[in-house]
Amino acid sequence: MNASNRFRLNKTDGKIMGVCAGLADFTGVDATWIRIATVLLTLCGVGSTILLYLLVGLIAPAIRY
């Protein structure tokens, strides 16, 4: 796995911590769809979504420009 295929937070395009934007960069899916899925999972009662978001936001490295 080369360095360009690794998950990184995207602080430039991110709204809060850059987790959804980083996941969008990693998967090639539009960040809006990732954000909608995150909100829907949170509202549907998947309680670990917020905890997982915060954990990834604190642990994952950020893209440096």
DSSP of the chain, one letter per residue?
Answer: --GGGS--B-TTT-SSSSHHHHHHHHH-S-HHHHHHHHHHHHHTT-THHHHHHHHHHHHSPBP--
Render pLDDT for 16-44 as a digit per residue (tens, 0 to 9).
888 998 899 889 999 999 999 999 988 88
- pLDDT tier, 64 (very low <50, low <70, confident <90, very high otherwise): low
The mean predicted confidence, pLDDT, of the chain is 83
